[in-house]
């Protein structure tokens, strides 16, 4: 069994069976260089890593990764089970500088609200936090691209005006919410993220299909 398959099972067990609350501060997991290689797994990895249930893998060059494809040994599996069931054996990872209670939670916004805001004179800064490759394939009209990892490394690159309205989006919602939290912590005051995953996927799929059709006709 791989680390990627276990992390999802453990996270679901904590939520459904033990009803353990989620970790709000996900920043300790940002040291993992492969964190967003699997966007479906990222949320699970963040929770289990920050809670101190599973550890990172250290590469020869010193970089830290989760390495989801790595097979779990019997010893590691035993350790995971123990830490899952008995929190006193964990060493949670914390970042002192983060304080989400004071910064607040980012606002959720609908796709229809975004469309209306983009028609106004003082339009918000619409940011696609997906990869450059995904952005190049198609995005929302008027959006600029700044991948999540770039925002994590330097959230101040977006705008000198901390009062400017910023709306972030990705394809499934998780990366945009993470980016929104980073911006709030950096001092931006008007931050929202598009959370309608199904509509976003449907919109982008339709946009890409229409774009390919026009390209073929041309």
Spell out the per-residue pLDDT of the chain, length 218, in tens.
999 999 999 999 999 999 999 887 777 888 898 887 876 788 899 999 999 999 999 999 998 999 999 999 999 999 999 999 999 999 999 765 444 444 567 888 887 888 788 888 788 999 999 889 888 888 888 889 999 888 887 888 888 888 889 999 987 777 888 889 889 888 888 999 987 655 555 555 554 444 444 444 55
Residues 46 and 107 in one domain: no
Q: How far apart are CA 28 and CA 88, in angstroms?
A: 20
109 and 191 inside one domain? yes
Choosing from 38, 41, 85, 170, which is the catalytic residue?
170
Residue 85 lies in a domain: yes
Let me know if 41 is a catalytic residue: no
Helices (H), the chain: 3-16, 39-50, 74-85, 100-103, 111-117, 132-137, 148-153, 174-185, 197-217
Same domain, 56 and 153: no
Instruction: Please give the tally of structural domains in the chain.
Output: 2
- The answer to whether position 30 is within a domain reads yes
Shared-domain flag, residues 79 and 109: no
Boundary residue ending a domain (40, 70, 89): 89
Whether residue 30 sits in one domain with residue 7: yes
Check if the beta carbon of residue 32 is closer than 8 Å to that of residue 65: yes
Tokens of 130: 């997906």
Residue at 166 is within a domain: yes
Per the structure block, which two tokens stand in for 37?
């290689």
Which residues fall within 8 angstroms of residue 13, CB to CB, at 6 or more apart?
Answer: 84
Rounded Cα distance, 171 and 204, in Å? 8
Considering the domain architecture, whether residues 188 and 85 belong to the same structural domain is answered as no
Question: Are 110 and 194 members of one domain?
Answer: yes
Provide the pLDDT for residue 197: 54
Same domain, 177 and 210: yes
Q: Show which of 38, 70, 89 is a domain's final residue.
A: 89
Torsion 89-38-156-113 (CA) sign: negative
Residues 188 and 148 reside in one and the same domain: yes
What stretches of 54-131 adopt beta strand conformation (E)?
Answer: 57-58, 64-65, 107-109, 125-128
User: Taking the complete model, does pTM exceed 0.85, yes or no?
Assistant: no
Q: Are residues 46 and 129 in the same domain?
A: no
Q: Classify residue 117: in a domain, yes or no.
A: yes
Domain boundary among 89, 110, 141: 89
Show the domain range for 65.
3-89
Strands 166-169 and 125-128: parallel
In a domain, 95, yes or no: no
Residue 94, in any domain of the structure: no
Shared domain for 18 and 124, answered yes or no, is no
139/38 same-domain check: no
């Amino acid at each position: 069994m791989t680390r990627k398959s276990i992390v999802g099972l453990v996270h679901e067990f904590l939520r459904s069976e033990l009803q353990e609350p989620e970790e709000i501060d996900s920043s300790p997991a940002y040291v993992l260089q492969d964190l967003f290689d699997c966007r479906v797994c990222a949320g699970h990895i963040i929770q289990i890593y920050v809670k101190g249930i599973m550890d990172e893998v250290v590469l020869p060059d010193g970089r830290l990764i989760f390495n989801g494809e790595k097979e779990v040994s019997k010893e590691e599996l035993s350790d995971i089970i123990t830490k899952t069931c008995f929190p006193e054996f964990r060493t949670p990872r914390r970042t002192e500088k983060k304080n989400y209670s004071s910064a607040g939670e980012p606002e959720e916004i609908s796709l229809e609200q975004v469309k209306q805001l983009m028609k106004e004179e003082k339009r918000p800064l619409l940011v696609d936090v997906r990869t450059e490759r995904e952005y190049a394939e198609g995005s929302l009209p008027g959006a600029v691209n700044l991948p999540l990892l770039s925002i994590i490394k330097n959230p101040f690159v977006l705008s000198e005006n901390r009062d400017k309205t910023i709306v972030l989006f990705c394809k499934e919602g998780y990366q945009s919410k993470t980016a929104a939290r980073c911006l709030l912590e950096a001092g931006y005051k008007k931050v929202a993220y598009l959370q309608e995953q199904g509509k976003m996927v449907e919109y982008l799929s339709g946009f890409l299909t229409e774009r390919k059709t026009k390209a073929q006709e041309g």
